[in-house]
Structure 1
């Protein structure tokens, strides 16, 4: 059912016009919610630090996590220390807000959060109410700004800068609101953000918007158990099964296909809670997965399991603009 819905979301099916009136009503509610915060009718929390939101208006993977990792690393080169706040999707802990530490794992704080913590090493606070996470993380004295992982629609959290990411391959689909399409907010919301970032080559015209393109590039293969990085040439010599439990598995498979023309693939739901039994039927010599999936497989990873290490490039001008904006505050 989910795959059928997604196919409807991301194709220009004539049936979408039957759902357009309902989608339009939902978009009005989304506009009204934002307007109430803009007018001050509903209050939001204003941090003592600049808050940068990295989000999207559509569901599914758009590249937010590698973009946040890129932002943190590039800002650090300019001696700007960032902290991260997140909803902590899938977190099993009961007490929020929570500051992630070395005793946590992917099940406790969520897969994306735990991966970001391992990647960046910066303070990360999680809470379903991101404004509460902001209040916690801003108590860390040496931070210069806060990056919100997602939260474009969390208006209870004030912000000074907004990035909206769009997947270049899938675009905005049929441009209808959930549940009739993939959008959390109407397309017009993109006109109000500070920067629209298109991840990959865009197959869809975003008329009237100033966009910047970034690209995902593969760094190499990383052995899950040891953390050792190996060359991608290992793939050509062995049979491979690619495993993905992310929002946009096709992007992962297409990226892998640039380095291995033939492989088996297994798709799980986004944020799937992996267990060892999920891999029982795999007979390939090498298993390759995303880094987000790998952090959940650490406890039972085998010697032939790797994740595909990626990084984002092409955003130097974006960083320059952000730093100038921070200096204004």
Structure 2
């Protein structure tokens, strides 16, 4: 039911139809309330540079894969990053460190994925400032903070803002509830950089824009950890006439399905609600020889022993590459803010 509701809403938000027009007065109220909150917020400065990776479209645009790629790029250039996040759907009010063994129901699935992918200090809290302060106290060597999401969390002062534009673009260009945006499109003129992630929309903005290149190469058998290329799995499927399903609890599951099909895999797509909690095992009733899932789903599956033993399941990591000029731009702006190392 939730998948159908999400699909219905995004279809309405993709155009300026009757429902969107009827909701337009409520959007004015939403914008007024947001502006009032922003005017009353006094940003808190943190002792290290802060980069916010966010969006103005409600829901997923690929912020977390961009955050992971950014962390890795900064590490290669000699920075010591830490990551803070709200921990969407997590169950912790006070700042909490995310460990590789953390429960995604407590810390959130995306922060856990970031930790597993980068192994950098990662903290979650509904208050980004509290998360930042706790992280820096525990890890004083950290010299840059990346905020996964939080573009609208103005309590935390930031030194560089990245807005990620995903596959859905900007929808009908209106703010909630008549449209899908948290802030009007003009907000994109205020950020430092736009990252275009699989969008075909023409974005009208004066802000420098960079393309994120993403794709799949390998799959990891969930039960054994064995790595195998998707092209090899595609050949095996054709040779042995295996049936295959793809299951995804992400913002745009259709993209995951189509990227698998681009490797020659014949899969039946099964969408789940974004941030699906996996309280139940959705795979046991799937009649397929192969099942492909995302990394974001995989971090929540370990609560089920039967899923751990299911040799049909393959995790497909998303490999994303950021434009080197974006990293140059970030470094150029932040290099003067980098704390000096103590002798």
TM-score of the alignment, normalized to the shorter chain, above 0.5: yes
- In the alignment, structure 2 segments of 5+ residues that lack a partner are 338-343
Question: What does residue 148 of structure 1 align with?
Answer: 147
Task: Provide, for residues 163-192 of structure 1, a one-character-per-residue CA deviation record: whole Å limited to 9, x for no partner.
Answer: 00001x311001121222111111111110
Contact preservation (8 Å) 1:47, 1:138: no
- 1:315 Cα offset (Å): 1.7
Q: Distance in 1 between matches of 2:146 and 2:188?
A: 19
Q: Distance in 1 between matches of 2:114 and 2:225?
A: 15
Q: Distance in 1 between matches of 2:146 and 2:125?
A: 14
Please identify, of 185-194 and 198-207, the stretch whose mean Cα deviation from structure 2 is larger.
198-207
- Once the two structures are superposed, the pairs formed by residues 228-239 of structure 1 within 5 Å of their partners are 228-232=226-230, 233-236=232-235, 237=237, 238-239=242-243
Question: What does residue 4 of structure 1 align with?
Answer: 8
Question: What does residue 222 of structure 2 align with?
Answer: 224
TM-score after normalising by structure 2: 0.88
Is 1:308 aligned to 2:306, yes or no?
A: no
- The two structures, once aligned, show a CA RMSD in angstroms of 1.8
Question: What does residue 246 of structure 1 align with?
Answer: 250
Is 1:164 aligned to 2:151, yes or no?
A: no
- 1:27 Cα offset (Å): 2.2
Question: What does residue 323 of structure 1 align with?
Answer: 331
Query: What secondary structure sits across from 2:216 in the alignment?
Result: strand
Question: What does residue 204 of structure 1 align with?
Answer: 202
Contact preservation (8 Å) 2:55, 2:164: yes
Q: Distance in 2 between matches of 1:102 and 1:170?
A: 31
Q: Distance in 2 between matches of 1:24 and 1:116?
A: 36
Aligned mate of 2:259, from 255, 264, 288: 255
Q: Distance in 2 between matches of 1:31 and 1:174?
A: 21
- Once the two structures are superposed, the pairs formed by residues 1-329 of structure 1 within 5 Å of their partners are 1-13=5-17, 15-34=19-38, 36=39, 41-92=40-91, 94=92, 96-139=94-137, 140-167=139-166, 169-232=167-230, 233-236=232-235, 237=237, 238-275=242-279, 277-299=281-303, 300-301=307-308, 302-329=310-337
- 1:30 Cα offset (Å): 2.4
Task: Provide, for residues 131-177 of structure 1, a one-character-per-residue CA deviation record: whole Å limited to 9, x for no partner.
Answer: 1101111111111100001000001111111000001x311001121
When the two structures are aligned, how many residues end up with a matched partner? 322
- 1:272 Cα offset (Å): 0.8
Contact preservation (8 Å) 2:82, 2:144: yes
- In the alignment, structure 1 segments of 5+ residues that lack a partner are none
Q: Distance in 1 between matches of 2:16 and 2:207?
A: 21
- 1:209 Cα offset (Å): 4.1
- 1:28 Cα offset (Å): 3.3
- 1:202 Cα offset (Å): 2.2
Contact preservation (8 Å) 2:84, 2:124: yes
Contact preservation (8 Å) 1:224, 1:298: no
Contact preservation (8 Å) 1:12, 1:173: no
Q: Distance in 2 between matches of 1:46 and 1:255?
A: 41
- 1:216 Cα offset (Å): 0.9
- 1:324 Cα offset (Å): 1.2
